[in-house]
Amino acid sequence: MSANDSRIEGFRRLAHAAFAMLSGDEDLGLSFSAENQNYVRFNQGRVRQATHVDQQRVTLDFRQKGRRLVLGFDLTGSLPMDQAHLAALIGHARDECSALPQDPFVTPLENHGEGHEAHPGILPSVGSISNAVFNASQNVDLAGLYAGGTQIRATANAEGTFRSFSSESFFLDHSIYTVNADGENKAVKGLYAGNVYEEKALHAALSESCAKLPALNRNNKTLPRGSYRVFLAPQAVEALMGMLSWGAVSHGAYQRGECAFEGLARGDLQLSPLFSLKENFRLGLSPRFTATGTVAPEELLLIERGELRTLLIHERTAKEYGLTANGASGGEGLRSPEILCGDLDPSDALKRLGTGIYLGNLHYLNWSERKTARLTGMTRYACFWVEDGEIMAPIKDLRFDESLYRIFGSELEAITQNSLRLPETDTYQERSLGGSQVPGMLIRDFRFTL
């Protein structure tokens, strides 16, 4: 039995023990999250900090007579100790439920069946990854993070659901810095990620990043604020798409008055007929099930040719507003999004751009006016001034303030024929699962403000 399987089995035993403690009018769901990860942080190709994290966490979703309480704790790994703690928390939940008012939007837990999905991998040791990065970055200034190890998500409830997802994978998220002819720091961003680590592939990924440096070493082009034709590389599109999870595709947010795509949801506004967005769990980067065990469809079309097909609807939102849930998680954010490809040959992208700006990455996005889907952010990393299809110079970074109704709508000229798979690299509290499949985009008119 693998280490992951053994942890999943430990969770199953704990769950069964918990379900045996319930009385007739009680129901319980448990979700499990675990990781055994190495994190190695690099600065100038050397190791700044190395951390091993071994953590297992259980969250209880306790229901009694229309009341609901969520309790979470870190497992010690000792079944008797964890079981005793869990029993104390169930006792506490009972006490609380006697004092809490009824929650009119609690939905019953259901049996969503059993299932297990595993993605095994081959990962490097901390010593070998630090050697490999050091050796591969001898002549460049590299900063970055290696994260590698096992991740588990599982859910069980007293109605019979038991589902798990486990993965062994890694990423080396990196930035390579240079100083250009004007004495300004410039950098390229790269990502080497997967389930099976190969040192040769790591060298190839870093070489690919380094190949962009000569263009960055040229003198800066300082552009005045204003409107420009723009090509958004997939990583820049991903940053924009990430904002959709801040309420833009959530039905609950729509009802609360917090939805950036309110006009789209009402049918008053459309995006470009070139733009289609779906949740696609076939990417295999995250589990289809949610914390309550609900299983999302393998694919869910959200926006088709510029028109909204559905927002994401969690079961609680469905109960409150009389709708049908569609497998969304509690936050009603995107978990495995894909923007569908278009007909632009990536090798023609600069030629089609003609004169304008190539944007490799964007930074620190935020809504500047949510109601109009207007957001602001900065250009970052490899961003170039292009003339007649030729890269001329790196730009000095610009601030933009622009609406998604224009970027994905009226100003969207073309989408590339192929897309990139970009695994999630967030590591707040624990390493995230998930990722996206994103193409590049050509935009007719994009507004920069500072």
Partner 1 sequence: MSAPSLAVQTALAAFDPVSALNAVSQEADWLGLRFACETHHHRSARNGHMESNQILQTRGVMIEALVEGQIAYAATSDLSPQGLSKAARLASEMARATAEHRRSDLSVQQRPASVARHQGPSKIRLDQISLEDFTDHLIKATQRLKVSDAIVTAVAEATLVESETHYVTTSGTDLRQHHLLSYQNFGAIAAEGGETQQRSLNGPTARCLQSGLESFNWDELLDECERTGQEALALLGAENCPDETMDLILSPDQMLLQIHESIGHPLELDRILGDERNYAGWSFVKPEDFGTLQYGSSLMNIVFDPGLSGEFASYAFDDGGAPAEREHLIREGRLLRGLGGLESQSRSGIPGVANFRSSGWNRAPIDRMANINLEPGNTSFDDMLAQVERGVYMQSNRSWSIDDYRNKFQFGCEYAQLIEEGRLTRVLKNPNYRGITLPFWHSLKAVGSSETFKMYGTPYCGKGEPNQMIRVGHASPTCLFKNIEVFGGAR
Nearer to partner 1, 103 or 307 (CB): 103
Cα separation values, 9 from 4, 76, 165, 338, 431, Å: 9, 15, 12, 33, 21
Residue 210 token pair:
């380094």
Give the separation between CA 375 and CA 386, rounded to whole angstroms: 24
Nearer to partner 1, 81 or 116 (CB): 81
Q: Report the nearest approach of partner 1 to the CB of residue 267 (Å).
A: 14
Nearer to partner 1, 284 or 331 (CB): 331
Q: Report the nearest approach of partner 1 to the CB of residue 62 (Å).
A: 10
Closest by CA to 308, choosing from 355, 275, 341, 347, is: 275
Nearer to partner 1, 133 or 344 (CB): 133
Q: Report the nearest approach of partner 1 to the CB of residue 7 (Å).
A: 12
Taking a C-beta distance cutoff of 8 angstroms, is the pair 25, 148 a contact? no
Residue 116: which residues within 8 A CB-CB, separation 6 or more? 8, 163, 164, 165, 166
Q: Report the nearest approach of partner 1 to the CB of residue 408 (Å).
A: 16
Helix-strand-coil percent breakdown of the chain, rounded to 5? 25, 40, 30
User: Residue ranges of the alpha helices (H) in 173-310?
Assistant: 199-210, 213-216, 234-242, 251-256, 262-266
Nearer to partner 1, 221 or 352 (CB): 221
Nearer to partner 1, 57 or 352 (CB): 57
Q: Is beta strand 114-119 parallel, antiparallel or unpaired with respect to 162-179? A: parallel
Nearer to partner 1, 147 or 442 (CB): 147
Q: Report the nearest approach of partner 1 to the CB of residue 268 (Å).
A: 9
Cα separation values, 244 from 180, 232, 251, 344, 443, Å: 35, 17, 12, 24, 18
Taking a C-beta distance cutoff of 8 angstroms, is the pair 421, 437 a contact? yes
Nearer to partner 1, 103 or 304 (CB): 103
Q: Report the nearest approach of partner 1 to the CB of residue 235 (Å).
A: 14
Nearer to partner 1, 78 or 355 (CB): 78
DSSP tag of 267? T
Closest by CA to 393, choosing from 401, 385, 403, is: 385
Nearer to partner 1, 185 or 217 (CB): 185
Nearer to partner 1, 174 or 278 (CB): 174
Q: Report the nearest approach of partner 1 to the CB of residue 343 (Å).
A: 31
Q: Report the nearest approach of partner 1 to the CB of residue 120 (Å).
A: 22
Taking a C-beta distance cutoff of 8 angstroms, is the pair 248, 261 a contact? yes
- Indicate the length of the chain as a whole number: 450
Q: Report the nearest approach of partner 1 to the CB of residue 155 (Å).
A: 17
Q: Report the nearest approach of partner 1 to the CB of residue 286 (Å).
A: 18
Q: Report the nearest approach of partner 1 to the CB of residue 33 (Å).
A: 12
Amino acid at 168: E
Amino acid at 85: H
Residue 390: which residues within 8 A CB-CB, separation 6 or more? 350
Q: Specify the 3-state DSSP secondary structure of 292.
A: coil
Taking a C-beta distance cutoff of 8 angstroms, is the pair 386, 350 a contact? yes
